[in-house]
Chain A
Amino acid sequence: MTLFDDLGVLWRRRYWRAAIIAAGVATLGVLLLGGFERAVSAAKDRPDSPAGRRIETGAFALTPLCAWTTDLYPGQPQGMRGRQRFLVLRMQVENLAYDWLAMSALLAKDVVWLADGRTDPRQPKYTQRADDHTLPVLQPALPVQVDLIWELPAGTAAPRQPAWGVYRRRHVERGYLAGDEFWVQDGAAYRLPIALTTQCDGRVQ
């Protein structure tokens, strides 16, 4: 191969020899550190977690309670009934961070509906408190019941075995560039298959 024909000539030069040895050592190092292995697929199956079990994602401790489909999501004025079908998931959320800032926005990014049961994550359209339908402010260490609402595309039937996905979130004390602190999403954590019910067994409706 022409690629290696000149190797003999180059090998005799001192600096080229050093460069070739360095390249060989680097390749060996990458091989030993696992750089040539197949990358882990992001859609690898995550463990399932049933309704009622509390799971921790780093930033939140979530307990999915129940889910249902409806023509009118909780708190919507009666006049809007029938225009759109909604899928509602009620969960008990506890903020494990030390302040409330931006945590409700992060919750809406971390809990997704897997539209075909395993993939196709979709973020909720609305999040609100379960009791008075106002915007949830997730205070630290204070569990609160939150409704997450998705719009079901018109014409599709309600999913028979809906599943949701939850992402993990990691706290960074000092970011590298600016030294600021933030929460960064850290990969999928759990899949929540929750059967649809007609009502949420006696809890706040």
Chain B
Amino acid sequence: MSAAPRHLPIRWTLVTATLCALALIVLLRKHQPSYEEKVAPLTVAGTIGAPVTARNFEVTVKRLKLARAYRIDGRYSGDPSQVVRADGIWLSALLEATATREPGFLSAQLRTRDGRLYAASGGDRPKLDGVNLGETSLATGIPASGAYFFDVPEAGLEGASLQFYWGLGAPSGLDHLLDIDLGLDARALAELRDQAVPELDMRTRTDQ
């Protein structure tokens, strides 16, 4: 690309500076944090038994229970009871939750040791009004006592942690995400499994 000296002289400093800038742009774009990292939620750690506070809610996880199926009331009065069987195993987390600033929904997910995320089962499975807090609107300042239910494979329970976040759907970026270590080592898990029942009776009506 050499030109005769009569024509435009090449400013090599300019060429080098341009190439360096281009290289720097490519390098920075390649190594910038991914979109999920840029808008990741802010994690707040906690443990079972102690209240953990986020920006606008507070949760105290009291204890865990395992079950393979729940027997619940039929949909209408007079209907026979239904059995809600888990695809894996049901883990229920009994807790107390309070919305501290404004009313809204509190969602939960279980995070296994290998990074898989399991959504809490929605309010319609198992349908236990007042107990299943999934998709239930919390009123400001009024504590709710209930449980979140997770349908998880048994292999994922060891080392799992429970995560809570405000709103429905996925954890919102740049908002608090409570991460509560469940303390499920091999011994605790064996204890839970011993206490697990094949079918837990959660009926409230006496006519079935």
Contacts and interface: CB of A to CB of B under 8 A. Distances in A.
Interface in B70-128: 82, 84-85, 87-88, 115-119, 121-122, 124-125
A1 interface: no
Interface in A127-145: 129, 131-132, 134-135, 137, 139-144
Contact of B156 (A129, A137, A141, A181): A141
B170 interface: yes
Nearest to B125: A134
B35 interface: yes
B118 A181 contact: no
Contacts of B35: 174-175, 178-181
Interface stretch (A34-42, A47-55, A98-106, A163-171): A98-106
A137 B87 contact: no
A178 B33 CA distance: 10
B118 A139 contact: yes
Contact of A137 (B34, B88, B121, B153): B121
Interface string B122-154: 101100000000000000000000000001110
B206 interface: no
A198 to B, nearest CB: 25
A135 B122 CA distance: 9
A181 B34 CA distance: 8
A139 B84 contact: no
Contacts of A99: 116-117
B32 interface: yes
A31 B89 CA distance: 58
Nearest to B155: A141
Given A174-B34, A179-B35, A142 B153 contact: yes
Nearest to B124: A134
A139 B154 CA distance: 13
Contacts of B156: 141
Contact of B119 (A139, A144, A175): A139
A180 B38 CA distance: 10
> Which residue, B32, B117, B121, B170, has most C-beta atoms of chain A within 10 A?
B117
Contact of B87 (A101, A139, A179): A139
Contacts of B122: 134-135, 137
A101 B116 contact: no
A174 B38 CA distance: 12
Interface of A: 98-101, 129, 131-132, 134-135, 137, 139-144, 173-175, 178-181
Given A101-B170, A139-B119, A139-B152, 5 more contacts: A101-B117, A132-B82, A139-B151, A140-B117, A178-B35
